[in-house]
Chain A
Amino acid sequence: MTTTHDQIATIAPDTIENTGRRTFLEAGIAAGAGLLLGLRIGPAPAADTDDHAGTAPAAAAPFAPNAFVRIGTDDTVTVIVKHLEMGQGTFTGLPTLVAEELDAAWDQIRAEGAPADATRYNNLLWGSAQGTGGSTALANSFEQLRKAGAAARRMLVTAAAQRWQVPATEIQVKDGVVSHRAGHRAPFGELAEAAAKLTVPTEVRLKDPAQFKLIGKPGLHRTDGPSKTDGSALFTQDVHLPGLLTALVVHPPRFGARVKRIHDTEARAIPGVERIAGIPSGVAIIARDFWTARRAQDALRVDWDETDAMTEGTAEILARYRELAKSPGAIARQDGDVDAALAGAAQVIEAEYSVPFLAHAAMEPMNCVIEPTDQGIRVWNGEQFQTGDQAALAKVFELAPEQVEIRMLFAGGSFGRRANPASDYLIEAAHCYQALRARLPVKLQWTREDDMRAGWYRPLYLHRIRAGIDPKGRPVGWDQRIVGQSIIAGTAFEPMMIKNGVDQTSVEGAANLPYSIAHFRLDLHSPRLPVPVQWWRSVGSSHTAFAGECMIDELATAAGQDPVAYRLRLLKNHPRHLAVLKLAAEKAGWGQPLPKGRGRGVAVHESFGTTVAQVAEVTVRKGGQFRVDRVVIAVDCGLAVNPDVIHAQMEGGMGFGLSAALLGEIRIEHGAVIQSNFHDYQVLRIDRMPEVEVHIVPSAQPPTGVGEPATPVIAPAVANALFAVTGQRLRSLPLRLSP
């Protein structure tokens, strides 16, 4: 198609320089077990060491297994972080664990992304797979990284004891300095080489939490703050390699349509366009830069074969789901005899809740770089699911998984999108690379329009709930039916996460409704649609919290009781729920009068082991306009490792949920997505961000995640607040008051 391949293919594809020559100490820990090993002296890995905090070392580098800590002779302590930094703070949280046990000074800590290698960097809560999600990063690393830090500390102490000829027990470590009362003193860097020659201890003692100097303390600034405020942080969008070409893909306008004919004469004539070719997901345009590819995209015409294209839209899907909701689905949970309980109830309340398709709309549109190497390929990506993506790409390229090297870069947001169970955009990038037929690196860059329209949404769900109360207002029966696509069906997760026909991610947050109700039934329909769907920040809870927390509010109203008091009475067996609910209510001034037109609403929900309560305060104006003025959040996430990161995730996670509650909706008509960019897929802007207050419940329990749990709570809190002011029950998102 183009005549320039020979010429461009002569550019050396692999020019990543190895500039690292520092001696270092590595300490590592076996997954879940005691210390394995991880001590060696040698050059830094064959990665670029040009200070991109998000750049991972090469998989082929001579690392010892299970390495998490590297101490340089220059006194820097580099923590190898196995999880993706996508904003949630893992490049700060995980290093905190190492620094604490190592007794390092916070300002000598650096964070570096780990390579794709599940033998060392698997997520301990995911078995043998490496990846980030489900708010697990800190929880699964809590012991592992503390042990890694403790082992490194012990070796530095031993090295010092040998050098100074004093008992190791008399040695102190503080702020990155090892010392002895006889006047000896050495910063870590001075001892790194000697420590690296020692055997790794087989057992280490971890600190008593009372001794913590960093964990739980304020004032630890984010490790990624400097590079994210001076333009130097490296995202996939920023990768530049010699010979790099940019690929855009024209996706079908309707789900299920296929390329019939490509009219590319005009597009090909544009100088700098290297190749135009059909690939399984559309038409790839590969050009010397983004703008050239964009112009070619405008010049290109594609005829689509729409024989198998989707014909339904949001309205038809909702109508079909309503029909389906009339018949029983697969049982997710059943206690007692709900039919009898409802038949005997003093009052039965029935309601239908629905939520739309949602795009993740991360600030950085999806992208991925594929680069040829001598061993196979190298992937540059805001990499969230190493093991799945490595396997998927190995299949496309007919390589062994270890021949697929992955550099985990910072992700400009993800909200679940970059952990795609089908590795969608990575495979698309691979197809673009293959279509080029030249050994040159290719960057697939989705436009914002692709990001909105080419799929992978939070599914649309419909809930129907019937609940009965006794004469005293207490709930006696709860019958809930959920209808919506399964995220898991057809993925590698199916054997683990679909049980008896029930996708656990469709019912999480509903199947474990915490309120004491003797007779309970939850069932599920998982209809199939051609719309590609996947997890979206907080997954099932993103809809189950809305339905459940609005319905319990409706019951409180039917019972004539205060929404907070009503919940508290039904949560006797859930101390964490009780604690956050009481704390949020107290701090929000629950029960204190508000001026006319203003009101409060409450919701409490547990997801990923973390419990969050929120009280939203709203002002309603004439004509149905309203504003969320203030949100008070209480959270129990176990031991608070980085209080400020927790605050940030509560603020931002709530804001992300509020965006969906107020504005978010992907609408489909005749198989095509209507929205295309931020002008018609509105997201929360600063002028609608409420004041936020965060309160952390003190806890000594093991830490749980905070990236997601604030997100699902805000929609029901706001809906309940709007009811308190207007008497209108809003049962579908986004929330729109009638004038």
Chain B
Amino acid sequence: MLTLRINGTEHQLDLDPAMPLLWAIREHVGLTGTKYGCGMAQCGACTVFLNGAPVRSCSTPVSVAAGGEVVTIEGLVQGLGASALGKVGQAVRTAWLELDVVQCGFCQSGQILAATALLAENPDPTDAQIDAAMSGNLCRCATYTRIRAAIRRAADALV
């Protein structure tokens, strides 16, 4: 038995300890906002917060997350997570909506989490810092110009 704390709720799960956190979240906890895109830490679609830091849940064994604090997109937009993260996450989502960033949307949970992590750490990133922080998150719809703009907008909103 493993104890997973996700978005503030505890789940007791009987899982292979080597199972990636991604599949535990998606198929055993039933939160599907976190996506499978590559399974090898290449695309960022599976990004979640573990103890306040963004991780690739496809490459994080569930046993590593056991006992820790996991926040997914579903929790983030409800303002969950360490208080600072929750506030930043909501500002990021608002900017995403205002600028209509999404296209197919499949990468966007990961983008929003990565952007939140960036702004929580660096409230006023330069374009180069945005590019560096976000380059692990692929978007095949190439919504990149709007991602940059939305991050700047969220940064402005947070001052």
A-to-B contact residues, CB < 8 Å: 85-89, 221-222, 224-235, 237-238, 240, 246, 289-291, 295, 361-365, 410-415, 445, 447-448, 644, 648, 651-656, 658-659, 677-679, 683-687, 689, 691-692
Contact = CB atoms under 8 A, between A and B. Distances in A.
B43 A678 contact: yes
A237 to B, nearest CB: 6
Given A221-B100, A364-B104, A656 B142 contact: yes
Nearest to A692: B145
A228 B136 CA distance: 20
21 contacts: A226-B97, A229-B101, A230-B74, A231-B72, A231-B73, A231-B74, A234-B32, A235-B105, A238-B32, A240-B32, A289-B23, A291-B16, A362-B140, A363-B45, A410-B104, A411-B104, A448-B37, A652-B103, A678-B42, A685-B138, A689-B145
A229 B96 contact: yes
Nearest to A234: B32
A653 B97 CA distance: 20
A237 B93 contact: no
A686 B37 contact: no
A277 B122 CA distance: 52
B104 A412 contact: yes
A272 B4 CA distance: 22
Contacts of B20: 291
Given A221-B100, A229-B101, A412-B107, 12 more contacts: A229-B73, A229-B105, A237-B32, A289-B27, A289-B28, A291-B16, A295-B16, A363-B138, A651-B145, A656-B140, A689-B144, A689-B148
B106 A412 contact: yes
B62 to A, nearest CB: 9
Nearest to B127: A691
Contacts of A238: 26, 32
Contacts of A689: 142, 144-145, 148
Nearest to B36: A237
Contact of A231 (B77, B98, B104): B77
A648 B146 contact: yes
A363 B139 contact: yes
Contact of B142 (A228, A230, A290, A651): A651
A229 B108 contact: yes
B156 interface: no
A36 B111 CA distance: 45
Contact of B100 (A289, A361, A363, A648): A648
- Among B43, B96, B97, B106, chain A packs the most CB atoms within 10 A around the CB of B106
| Among B26, B137, B147, residue most surrounded by chain A Cβ atoms (within 10 Å) | B26
Nearest to B147: A686
A365 B77 CA distance: 26
Interface of B: 16, 19-20, 23, 26-28, 30-40, 42-43, 45, 72-74, 77, 93, 96-98, 100-109, 112, 130-132, 134-148
A448 B23 CA distance: 15
B38 A448 contact: yes
A148 B142 CA distance: 34
Contact of B131 (A225, A656, A687): A687
A466 B36 CA distance: 47
Contacts of B42: 677-679
A230 B140 contact: no
A291 B23 contact: yes
B34 A231 contact: yes
Which 10 pairs, one residue from A and one from B, show the smallest C-beta to C-beta distance?
A231-B33, A655-B142, A412-B106, A228-B105, A87-B104, A87-B103, A238-B32, A689-B144, A678-B42, A231-B73
Given A413-B106, A689-B144, A231 B139 contact: no
Nearest to B109: A231
A679 B38 CA distance: 10
B108 to A, nearest CB: 5
Contacts of A361: 140
A655 B141 CA distance: 8
Contact of B145 (A295, A362, A691): A691
Contacts of B23: 289-291
A364 B35 contact: yes
A85 B109 CA distance: 18
A630 to B, nearest CB: 11
Nearest to B74: A231
Contacts of B109: 229, 231
B104 A363 contact: yes
B18 to A, nearest CB: 8
Nearest to A651: B145
Given A652-B143, A678-B138, A232 B33 contact: yes
A413 B23 CA distance: 21
A264 B141 CA distance: 39
A713 to B, nearest CB: 14
A412 B35 contact: yes
B25 to A, nearest CB: 10
B146 A291 contact: no
A648 B103 contact: yes
Contacts of A655: 141-142, 144
A366 to B, nearest CB: 12
Contact of B73 (A87, A224, A230, A289): A230
Contacts of B74: 230-232
Contacts of A683: 138, 140
Given A289-B28, A415-B140, A222 B131 contact: no
B42 to A, nearest CB: 4
Given A678-B42, A686-B134, A229 B77 contact: yes
Contact of A229 (B27, B30, B97, B138): B97
A227 B104 CA distance: 11
Nearest to A271: B16
Contacts of A413: 104, 106, 140-141
B102 A229 contact: yes
A222 B136 CA distance: 26
Nearest to A89: B103
Of A227, A652, A659, most B-chain CB atoms within 10 Å: A652
Nearest to B72: A231
Contact of B137 (A225, A414, A686): A686
Given A221-B97, A289-B27, A364 B142 contact: no
Contacts of B73: 229-231
